[in-house]
Amino acid sequence: MTVFNLYIFDRNGTCLYYVEWNRKKHSGIASQEEEFKLMYGMIFSIKSFVNRISPSDLKDGFSSFKTSRYKCNFYETPSGLKFILNTDLNVGNIRDVLHQLYSNIYVEYVVKNPLCELGQPIKSDLFKTKLDEYVRNLPIFATKTN
Amino acid sequence: MTIHSVFVVNRAGGLIYQYDHNMPKIEVEKTFSYPLELVLKLLDEKVVVAFGQRDGVKVGHTVLGINGLSASGRQLEDGRDILETIADEDNYPIAIKFGRPKLTVNEKIMLASMFHSLFAIGSQLSPEPHSSGIEVLETDVFKLHCFQTMTGIKFIVLTDLRQGAVDGLLKKLYEVYSDFALKNPFYSIDMPIRCELFEQNLQSAIEQAERTGISNI
């Protein structure tokens, strides 16, 4: 099991934070900015797609998708903050992990830090360290031996 | 164990077959007194609930009828405008029927091509090399399973969360497609499938998958 990368977007589509751990392939897109836009656009479209195609009324809506190589886990807060964590396929439902990331890391070290401007990419080193520490200690973060 | 619907998408993203198998019908009828607690708005020529969920009426539901008269678009059967009827105090108490809007054929075509591009982006944004596109998409009420053949045709099945052995069903649908659509001399490739045998066999495969949930089809 392993964790590849994490995106945090705000409700306007600004990428607040991006970090990667065991990522092997970078999408052939030259600029990282463009990749953030593509990611946000995909999630935005999936959300509206799912809302429309769903046979019954949704509560939380879209939670994850899988391809043959990775799983993309999605969590959105009512304020529109989006957490996207890409993991390998053996990871189960990690909604609570993403919620912890929001309530214990984002709220504690960004919202409660008056020097962090909301709606702007996060520069706080404390946030970076705490987030990295939290993710590395997750049971799903076991670096592959091969 | 439920299978909701099946979509077949050609390699260009066009919808060539769609079948609704087991779609729950969501309808609520309620009598309201003046003033109406719900906020309604006009969206895509439909009257939609914008705010104020209560008693099974959810945001996003459309007005299906008023006082037994059914609605078509923004108007009632007798030609009255829905929003005007609801705004008029003289019409109260009023019985309004709400429900989840059904997908129109055009919307289905649009959603199919939308998934076609989401599938491609899912593979492009992969953090690992050699990834396929989206194979399973999960929400809190349904799952979408997609199988892309070597020739680029996508079979998409919407199921509930507990349905098992969908992989087997997808392979079976591909088999049914190759046997009864491709071998039909009147079927031209990449065009909508209108073959009776295809339809019959697809339905029986779905029913069997729903009954057993095991991959022995």
Q: How confident is the model at residue B214 (pLDDT cuts 50, 70, 90)?
A: low
Looking at the predicted structure, is the pLDDT value of residue B129 above 80? yes
Of B99, B124, B145, which residue constitutes the final position of a domain?
B99
Q: Return the amino acid letter for A106.
A: Y
In terms of domains, do B39 and B82 share one? yes
Looking at the predicted structure, is the pLDDT value of residue B112 above 90? yes
- Mean pLDDT lowest among A24-28, A121-125, B18-22: A24-28
Phi/psi for A40 (5° steps) reads -60, -40
Residue B166 · residue B15 · CB < 8 Å: no
Task: Tell how strand A3-9 and strand A15-20 pair up.
Answer: antiparallel
What residues in A contact B21, CB-CB < 8 Å?
none
Contact A66 B107 (CB under 8 A): no
Hey, of B126, B132, B135, B143, which one would you mutate to test binding to chain A, going by the most A CBs within 10 A of its CB? B126
**What is the pLDDT averaged over residues B75-92?**
92
DSSP-derived secondary structure letter, A53: H
In terms of domains, do B137 and B90 share one? no
In terms of domains, do B87 and B172 share one? no
How many whole angstroms separate alpha carbon B155 and alpha carbon B173? 8
Which one of B111, B124, B127 has the shortest CB-CB distance to A53?
B111
How many whole angstroms separate alpha carbon A106 and alpha carbon A92? 23
In terms of domains, do B132 and B66 share one? no
Kindly report the average pLDDT of chain B as a whole number. Answer: 92
Looking at the predicted structure, is the pLDDT value of residue A24 above 50? yes
pLDDT score at A144 = 54
Nearest CA in chain A to B23: A55
3-class DSSP assignment, residue B145? strand
Structural domains of chain A, ranges and CATH numbers in brackets = 3-136 (3.30.450.70)
In terms of domains, do B91 and B125 share one? no
3-class DSSP assignment, residue A129? helix
Nearest CA in chain B to A5: B127
Which residues face A66 on adjacent strands?
A71, B136
**Residue B210 CB contacts under 8 Å (≥ 6 apart), including other chains:** B1, B2, B3, B21, B22, B163
In terms of domains, do B194 and B121 share one? yes
Looking at the predicted structure, is the pLDDT value of residue A111 above 80? yes
What residues in A contact B142, CB-CB < 8 Å?
54-56
CATH of the domain at B202: 3.30.450.70
Interface contacts A/B by beta carbons within 8 Å: 122
Mark which residues 123-142 of A lie under 8 Å from B by CB. none
pLDDT score at B58 = 92
Looking at the predicted structure, is the pLDDT value of residue B216 above 50? no
In terms of domains, do B115 and B162 share one? yes
pLDDT score at B217 = 43
Which tens digit of pLDDT belongs to each residue from A46-96? 999 999 999 999 999 999 999 999 999 999 999 999 999 999 999 999 999
Residue B32 · residue B96 · CB < 8 Å: yes
Of B99, B117, B151, which residue constitutes the final position of a domain?
B99
- Please report, rounded to a whole number, the percentage of residues in chain B having pLDDT higher than 90: 83
**Residue B53 CB contacts under 8 Å (≥ 6 apart), including other chains:** B59
Question: CB-based contact (8 Å) between A72 and chain B?
Answer: yes
- Mean pLDDT lowest among A4-18, A21-35, A95-109, B149-163: A21-35
Nearest alpha-carbon partner for B142 in A30, A62, A114, A95:
A62
pLDDT score at B1 = 84
Of B99, B131, B148, which residue constitutes the final position of a domain?
B99
Looking at the predicted structure, is the pLDDT value of residue A120 above 90? yes
**What is the pLDDT averaged over residues B104-123?**
96
Domain count along chain B: 2
C-alpha separations of B58 from A25, B63, B101 in Å? 42, 11, 11
DSSP-derived secondary structure letter, B157: E
pLDDT score at A146 = 46
Tokens for B15, please give them: 């919808």
**What is the pLDDT averaged over residues B183-212?**
93
Looking at the predicted structure, is the pLDDT value of residue B77 above 50? yes
What's the pTM value of the predicted model, to 2 decimals? 0.92
CB burial string B169-186: b at 16+ within 10 A, e below: bbbbbbebbeebbeeeee
Judge if the upstream peptide bond of residue B192 is cis by omega within 30 degrees of 0. Answer: no
In terms of domains, do B114 and B205 share one? yes
Range of the domain at B125: 3-23+104-215
Nearest CA in chain A to B130: A69
**Residue B59 CB contacts under 8 Å (≥ 6 apart), including other chains:** B49, B50, B51, B52, B53
pLDDT score at B29 = 93
Per-residue three-class SS string for B92-106 = CCEEEEEECCCCCHH
CATH of the domain at B47: 2.30.42.40
Q: How confident is the model at residue B164 (pLDDT cuts 50, 70, 90)?
A: confident
First-to-last CA distance in chain A? 12
Which tens digit of pLDDT belongs to each residue from B18-68? 999 988 888 999 999 988 999 999 988 899 999 999 888 999 999 999 999
Which tens digit of pLDDT belongs to each residue from B172-182? 999 999 999 99
What residues in B contact A61, CB-CB < 8 Å?
139-140
Kindly report the average pLDDT of chain A as a whole number. Answer: 92
**What is the pLDDT averaged over residues B106-110?**
96
Q: Return the amino acid letter for A43.
A: I
Angle separating helix axes B196-212 and B166-177, nearest 10 degrees = 170
Looking at the predicted structure, is the pLDDT value of residue B215 above 70? no
In terms of domains, do B114 and B84 share one? no
In terms of domains, do B13 and B119 share one? yes
C-alpha separations of A67 from A28, A46, B134, B171, B217 in Å? 18, 14, 5, 17, 24
In terms of domains, do B83 and B129 share one? no
In terms of domains, do B109 and B207 share one? yes
Q: How confident is the model at residue B90 (pLDDT cuts 50, 70, 90)?
A: very high
